Amino acid sequence: MLDALRYEWTRLTTLRSTYWLTGIGVLCALAIPVIAGFAAGGDPIDAEITAIMLNGGAAFGIPFLAVFMAIIGIFATGHEYRHGTIQPTLTALPQRSRLIMAKLLVVAVVTVVVTLVSMALNALAIAIFWGEVPGLFEDPLASALLGYLVYTLVYTLVGLGLGLLFRGVPSALVVIFLMPLIIENIILGLSFLPMADWLVPVVKFLPFSSGARLLAIEPMVIPDYDLFGRWGSGGVFAVFAALIVTAAWILFKKRDA
C-alpha cells in the first residue's frame, strides 16, 4: 500500500496542472475577502458574511476551491485514460484496488490540507481588514466551516469517481458542472409547478444541492420540502459520492485496462 501511495504522490506532484489548479482555486477564494475588504473593510459583519468570506464565496453558490479541487480529482483518474498511462501504471502496480485506494487517500488528504490552508489565508485577510474574525470558533460559523471542508472533500471525490467511471476527462467535467448547475436547478424549478409537484420529495435527495447545505449558516427551509439539516444533507451528498466511487471501482476491477 505504501508503494501505491508513493506512486500516487509522485504522480500528483509531477503534474503541472496540480499546482496551477490549486493556486487558482486558493487565489479565487482569497479574492472574495480581499475584494470585500477593500470595498467595505471595517464595516460590521455578521456570521453569514464571515462564512462567505472564509469559504471564498462557496456559500454564495460559487464554490471556487471545490471546483478546482474536483478537477484535480477528475484528473487523478481521467488523465490515466486520456493519456493512456493506465497501462504502464498497472504494470507497475497491478493490484487495482490498492491503486484506487491510494488515489482516494492522497487526493483526499491534499484536498483537506489545501482547504484548511485556504480558510486560514482567508481568515488572515479578514483579520487584516477587520482587525478580527468574529465568532470563528463558535457555532454556527464553526459548523458551517467544517461543513465547507466536508463539502470540498466530497465534491473532489465525486470528481475522482466520475473520472474513473467515464474513463476520461471531458465527460466527467460535463457531468460535474452541468449536474449541479442545470439538472438540479431544473428539477427544483419544476417542482414548484403544480403539475410537477411529484418532484417535491425528490428535491431533498438532489446530491449537489444537498451538499451546498453543508455550508449554510441558517438551515434552508422551504415549506413542504422537508429538507434535511446540515449533516443529513451532507450525508445525502456523501452517499452519492460513495455510490459513484463504488460503481467506478467495481467496473475498474472488471473492465480491461
Partner 1 sequence: MITATGLYKRYRKTVAVDRLSFDVRPGVVTGFLGPNGSGKSTTMRLMLGLDHGEGQTLFDGERFSDIRRPMNKVGTLLEAKPFHPTRTARNHLRMLASANGVGDKRVDEVMELVGLGTVKRKKPKGYSLGMAQRLGLAQALLGDPRILLLDEPTNGLDPHGIHWMRDMLKHLASEGRTIFVSSHLLSEMQLMADELVVIGRGTMIFNGVVDQFVRDFTQSTVIVRGPEAAGFVPALEGAGAEVAKGKDGELVISGMEIGAVGHLAFTENVELSELSTRSASLEEAFMSATGSTEEFVAAEPPTAPATEKADGADNA
> Under DSSP, is residue 48 helix (H, G, I), strand (E, B) or coil?
helix
User: Interface residues for partner 1 in 17-46 (CB under 8 A)?
Assistant: 17
Task: Measure the CA–CA gap between 92 and 31, rounded to whole angstroms.
Answer: 42
CB of 104 to partner 1, least distance (A): 16
Nearer to partner 1, 4 or 157 (CB): 4
CB of 39 to partner 1, least distance (A): 38
User: Interface residues for partner 1 in 73-92 (CB under 8 A)?
Assistant: 79, 83-92
CB 237 within 8 A of CB 207: yes
CA-closest candidate to residue 63, choices 6, 14, 111:
111
Nearer to partner 1, 4 or 30 (CB): 4
218 contributes a contact to partner 1 by CB under 8 A: no
Write out the three cell numbers for 247. 460503481
Which one of 12-20, 26-34, 64-72, 170-178 is the stretch in contact with partner 1 (CB under 8 A)?
12-20
Please state, as a whole number, how many other Cβ atoms lie within 10 Å of the Cβ of residue 135: 15
CB 209 within 8 A of CB 180: yes
Q: Give me the phi and psi of 217, to 5 degrees please.
A: -80, -50
97 contributes a contact to partner 1 by CB under 8 A: no
Task: Measure the CA–CA gap between 135 and 155, rounded to whole angstroms.
Answer: 26
230 contributes a contact to partner 1 by CB under 8 A: no
CB of 128 to partner 1, least distance (A): 35
CA atoms in the 13 A half-sphere facing the CB of 242: 6
224 contributes a contact to partner 1 by CB under 8 A: no
CB of 19 to partner 1, least distance (A): 11
Burial class (CB in 10 A: 0-12, 13-18, 19+), 224: exposed
Answer for which of 24, 93, 101, 220 binds partner 1 (CB under 8 A) is: 93
CA-closest candidate to residue 81, choices 111, 110, 103, 48:
103
Nearer to partner 1, 82 or 204 (CB): 82
Nearer to partner 1, 14 or 193 (CB): 14
Answer for which of 43, 46, 95, 201 binds partner 1 (CB under 8 A) is: 95
Rg from Cα positions in the chain: 19
Write out the three cell numbers for 4. 501505491
Which one of 93-101, 104-112, 211-219, 225-233 is the stretch in contact with partner 1 (CB under 8 A)?
93-101
* Interacting residues with partner 1 (CB under 8 A): 3-4, 6-7, 9-11, 14-17, 79, 83-95, 254-257
